[in-house]
Amino acid sequence: MFYKNRTAFIKYLLKGVDTRIFIFETLRDKVKNNYSPLEVMFMTILRHFNQFYSKEGVNHMDSEKQQKYIWVLYKSAEQVRNKIGLKKAQGMAYRLLNSVQAGNRNTFMDTVMRVYISSELEMPSILLEALHEKSMDFETVANAWVSGLISKPNEEGEFNNV
């Protein structure tokens, strides 16, 4: 993470502030400036862990399993980006970010389903679970998926080194 973003993100976590708005703004900046979204992925994972442990009565989770779910979303969106191309993916990312900001799950899911159908790819079941918030909240799913959608093909090496 860039030093500025990392410091601000950690301050929000320590103050008990939900970091979804900060992550959203950072992701929008990544789309606008064509930067790597890996930083947003790490923030999304940390936010998910924080949300999970903030629930009453929860004192244990399988962090590797939860992290894997988030990376599955990222990689599935990467496959979509490979099919539709980076320019279309960036345009779609703006639309999806607007629906996330408005809290409009239906518009987000409709757009995502349409792109899976048109690109003839199988939609991961975890995306469908996002509507019901069974394993993770909507913002976590959306941020991970949009990050994968705008990822760059050469980031594979960076991902493997994480």
**Residues 60-80: pLDDT tens digits?**
778 888 888 899 999 999 999
The answer to whether 80 touches 149, Cβ cutoff 8 Å, is yes
CA–CA dist 83, 151 (Å, integer): 13
Q: In angstroms, how far is CA 63 from the centroid of its own chain?
A: 17
DSSP-derived letter for residue 150 is: T
Phi, psi of 114 (to 5 degrees): -60, -40
Domains held by the chain: number: 1
Query: Could you tell me if 150 and 30 are in contact, meaning their C-beta atoms sit under 8 angstroms apart?
Result: yes
Specify the pLDDT at position 56. 64
- For residue 130, count other CB atoms closer than 10 A to its CB: 24
pTM: 0.84
Residue ranges, the chain, pLDDT below 70:
1-3, 56-58, 130-131, 133-135, 154-162
pLDDT given at position 143? 92
What is the extent of the structural domain holding 153?
A: 3-53+62-160
